[in-house]
Amino acid sequence: MTEAQVLEQITAIVQRMLEDKGVKAATIEADTELLGGAINIDSLDLAMLVRELEDVVGHDPFAEGFIEFRTVGELAKLYAK
């Protein structure tokens, strides 16, 4: 899956999470910060996002340990192959 495709998946998952919370979906770009930024997700939401990405993409970039990321684009790069 390309980085752009992973970015689309992240956007869809985050927007669904926000809709489930009754929060208006935000515009999500590659430079959007995942926590503390324009989108209203918390650390539990982020953990669920990572888990769902593993299912969609088929691999776990954190299998060897934590890799720091801050933005949607940085997370997409970790999952792109």
Instruction: Say what the pTM is.
Output: 0.90
Give the per-residue pLDDT at 40.
82
Give the Cα separation of 42 and 71 in Å (integer).
Answer: 14
Give the per-residue pLDDT at 17.
92
Q: Which two tokens mark 44?
A: 């539990």
Q: Using H for helix, E for strand and C for coil, what is the string for the chain?
A: CCHHHHHHHHHHHHHHHHHHHCCCCCCCCCCCECCCCCCCCCHHHHHHHHHHHHHHHCCCCCCCCCCCCCEHHHHHHHHCC
- Domain containing 28 equals 3-79
The CATH number of the domain holding residue 74 is 1.10.1200.10
pLDDT digits (tens, 9 = 90+) for 10-63: 999 999 999 999 988 778 999 999 998 888 899 999 999 999 999 999 999 999
How many structural domains are present in the chain? Answer: 1
